[in-house]
Amino acid sequence: MSRWEPGARGRLAQAALDLYQERGFEQTTVAEIAERAGLTERTFFRYFADKREVIFGGQAKLQEIYTSAIANAPASATPLDAVVVALEATIPGFQGRHKIVRQRQAVIAANPGLQERELLKGTLLTSTIADALRSRGVPGLSASIAAEVGAIAFKIAFDRWVSDPDEQDLSHLFRASLNQLKSIVAGT
């Protein structure tokens, strides 16, 4: 097998998610994933440190997007505006991936250990956003609150996007949940 495999990463990820769904995450081995993808275990480990990383590997990329979007937000942006811009910046990365994201969420929902890991990922991402706000001079507590509030609005929109078999527009859902959050907080 050659060292360079066109689309190997994507094929491995798809094979892994299919197997996690069919057999369960714990029951699937790396050997089985490689076999299903028509590749070797060695190739698997060139792309992923372990079975979990197929599911959680996108974290560093999201952190990068948040940090750069917040650093580049206009000086006039409120903390929450800057967070919204950062979260919106991730949306193009989900487009065209509705089916695989749904599959990922189903695998996580079926495994308590993965659910806990997913919550930890959410917490780390929210901290990244808060840190990026602090680097803009937003005071600590305000940065945390703005990051958490934005993350909730996004999470609610994302869950709706994932649970709807017909792919709705994620940007639209995000705007809608943000507006709903604003009206709930205002008590109207």
Task: Scan residues 39-78 and list those touching a copy of itself (CB under 8 A).
Answer: 78
Identify the residue among 26, 64, 116, 169 touching a copy of itself (CB under 8 A). Answer: 116
Shortest Å distance, C-beta 42 to a copy of itself: 29
Shortest Å distance, C-beta 89 to a copy of itself: 20
Cβ 54 vs Cβ 12: under 8 Å: yes
Shortest Å distance, C-beta 184 to a copy of itself: 5
Environment class of residue 138 by beta-carbon count within 10 Å: exposed (0-12), middle (13-18) or buried (19+)?
buried
Identify the residue among 46, 98, 102, 117 touching a copy of itself (CB under 8 A). Answer: 117
CB atoms within 10 A of CB 20: 25
Rama region for 40: left / alpha / beta (φ>0; ψ in -120 to 50; rest): beta
- Tokens, residue 91: 């949306």
Which positions touch a copy of itself (CB under 8 A)? Answer: 78-81, 112, 115-117, 119-120, 122-123, 141-142, 144-146, 148-149, 152-153, 155-156, 160, 177, 180-182, 184-187
